[in-house]
Amino acid sequence: LAMIVMKFGGTSVESAAAIERVASIVRERLDRQPVVVVSAMGKTTNRLLALAEKACAGERAEAARLLEELAAYTLGEARQVCRAEDWAPLSGFIESHFQELSAFLDELAGLGEFPAQYVDLISSYGERLSSRIVATAFKHFGMNGVHVDAREVIITDRRHTQAAPLYSRSYAKLDERVKPLAQQGQVVVMGGFIGSTQDGFTTTLGRGGSDFSASIVGAGIGADEIQIWTDVDGMLTCDPRILPGGHRVKMISFAEAAELAYFGAKVLHPATVVPAVEKNIPVLILNSRNADNPGTRIVAEAVPCANPVKSIACKRNITIVNIQSLRMLMAHGFLKRIFDVFDRFQTPVDMVTTSEVSVSLTIDNTTHLDEICAELRKIADVSTDNTQSLVCLVGDNIRDTPGLGARAFGALRDINISMITQGASKLNLSLIVLDSDLQRAVKALHDEFFATLDEKVFDA
């Protein structure tokens, strides 16, 4: 009998009422042997990181006040979804975890900085708490909820804040610890986002990583579906935070979804598709506030579609690095030397354009920007620009639709475009525009490419 993984994001577990909705969604699917993965409640991860930063900056009292507030919120919501007989152990669990957090704040105040191991340790509490609370809540709502600490089954490398799973070890643990519980009719609840190294240090898979956790769990237990429950009806034709009124995409391929996620569609963590593709498990994006909506189904192959573009993703506040060197005219090895620098500082490059003596590229992560520029200045003139946004058209048909570029540029005729690339995958066409033009650009492109809709693929 097949199993499913159901992942619920922060807004889906942000309150007692939201957790009750989750419980009823899961209860209706008990025959499919669900394993549940949850994010931290609401904005807990951001709040934990913000208060830890206060402690590092010497504002220990303010950090303590914010921690109190978070504890009160967590206890207040948990209380309402807990049976009387479970409250003593559950509240004890929550309170002892907040005491541990308080002790870490003292350490951070002493350190005066926030090392990556501590970032992981502190942010892990969000999912450790939410998963325990939801497991207990399931009992209150008549299910056999059981908590599994995700750090015992998701094993990762040591790259704190950006850890990569060790797949075969994690799959073996999931098969051994989680699968039998689901087969016995228990509803396992575990936290997303978190894992541990082989020697037991807490790690995280990167922000938004609970989607990725769900997919690792699905692959590890041999699930036949991975459901990502969130706060929108599915993958939409544009980012609703930039432009409301987009249409639901009913079906999309793994490759298209990965491209959209990578270029800013926050609804899915970009790595989510990796385990799902490997084991060919369909991924669904569904709305926990509108559970009857069929959502988006992500499948191996793109279905034939009359629209060349499936969706428009965007990333605000990216940084362009312009590199120019006349000395490099006709010389070989220029690009290699440039990319070596980005590689050494573990900074991914999103877009690249080149001419004979200059290279412009975009990055999202500016942690090491100063060091990178200092290195590059040894071989070239370097300037940076952080007033730009990336807009990315994604669709499997882009590769063989002639005139698509002309349509895009026509739609943007009043807007200055500072860089253009067609991704090597040929699934995307990316443009860089000023942050201040982003909304106008997305609207113009959306009007151009979604004026008519193929109803097999889009919810009109």
Site for ligand ASP in 4-43 (CB under 6 A): 9-10, 39-40
Partner from Mg ion, ligand ASP, ligand ADP, none binding residue 231, C-beta < 5-8 Å depending on class: ligand ADP
- Name, in order, each residue with C-beta under 8 angstroms of 178's C-beta and a sequence gap of 6 or more: 35, 148, 153, 188, 190, 217, 220, 221
Name the minimum Å distance from CB 458 to ligand ASP: 27
Residue 10 or residue 275: which is nearer to ligand ADP going by CB?
10
* DSSP symbols for 78-112: HHTTS-HHHHHHHHHHHHHHHHHHHHHHHHHHHH-
Q: Which positions touch ligand ADP (CB under 6 A)? A: 9-12, 39, 208, 230-232, 235-236, 239-241, 265-267, 311
Residue 239 or residue 350: which is nearer to ligand ADP going by CB?
239
Pairing mode of beta strands 251-253, 155-156: unpaired
Name the minimum Å distance from CB 315 to Mg ion: 15
Q: If binding is defined by CB under 6 A, does position 208 make contact with ligand ASP?
A: yes
164-193 footprint of ligand ASP as x/- string (CB under 6 A): ----------------------------xx
Residue type, 304: P
3-42 footprint of Mg ion as x/- string (CB under 5 A): ------x---------------------------------
Q: Report CA dihedral (183, 187, 190, 192) to the nearest 10 degrees.
A: 90
Match 């498990």 to its residue by tokens. Answer: 281
Residue 33 or residue 130: which is nearer to Mg ion going by CB?
130
Task: Report the residue from 145, 209, 234, 308 that binds ligand ASP according to the rule CB under 6 A.
Answer: 209
Match 């991704």 to its residue by tokens. Answer: 423
Name the minimum Å distance from CB 46 to ligand ASP: 7
Site for ligand ASP in 118-147 (CB under 6 A): 126
Match 């009422």 to its residue by tokens. Answer: 17
Q: Distances from the Cα of 9 to the Cαs of 43, 68, 366, 394, in angstroms? A: 10, 23, 27, 25
Site for Mg ion in 182-211 (CB under 5 A): 208
Partner from ligand ASP, Mg ion, ligand ADP, none binding residue 59, C-beta < 5-8 Å depending on class: none
Partner from Mg ion, ligand ASP, ligand ADP, none binding residue 153, C-beta < 5-8 Å depending on class: none
405: three-class secondary structure by DSSP = helix
Main-chain dihedrals φ then ψ at residue 201, nearest 5 degrees: -85, 135
Distance CA 190, CA 218 (A): 12
Distance CA 412, CA 393 (A): 13
Name the minimum Å distance from CB 288 to ligand ADP: 8
Name the minimum Å distance from CB 264 to ligand ASP: 15
Q: Distances from the Cα of 80 to the Cαs of 73, 74, 139, 162, 229, in angstroms? A: 11, 10, 13, 34, 22
Q: State the residue number with the nearest CB to ligand ASP.
A: 210
Closest by CA to 163, choosing from 115, 214, 120, is 120
> Which of these ranges, 149-157, 205-213, 218-226, 418-426, lies near ligand ASP under the rule CB under 6 A?
205-213
Residue 39 or residue 388: which is nearer to ligand ASP going by CB?
39
Partner from ligand ADP, Mg ion, ligand ASP, none binding residue 241, C-beta < 5-8 Å depending on class: ligand ADP
Name the minimum Å distance from CB 126 to ligand ASP: 5
For 114-160, the three-class secondary structure string (H helix, E strand, C coil) is CCHHHHHHHHHHHHHHHHHHHHHHHHHCCCCEEECCHHHCCEECCCC
Partner from Mg ion, ligand ADP, ligand ASP, none binding residue 192, C-beta < 5-8 Å depending on class: ligand ASP
Name the minimum Å distance from CB 67 to ligand ASP: 17
260: three-class secondary structure by DSSP = helix
Residue 194 or residue 429: which is nearer to ligand ASP going by CB?
194
Neighbouring CB atoms inside 10 A of 237's CB total: 22
Match 């525009």 to its residue by tokens. Answer: 433
Residue 249 or residue 302: which is nearer to Mg ion going by CB?
249
Interface ranges with Mg ion (CB under 5 A): 9, 208
Interface ranges with ligand ASP (CB under 6 A): 9-10, 39-40, 45, 126, 192-193, 207-210
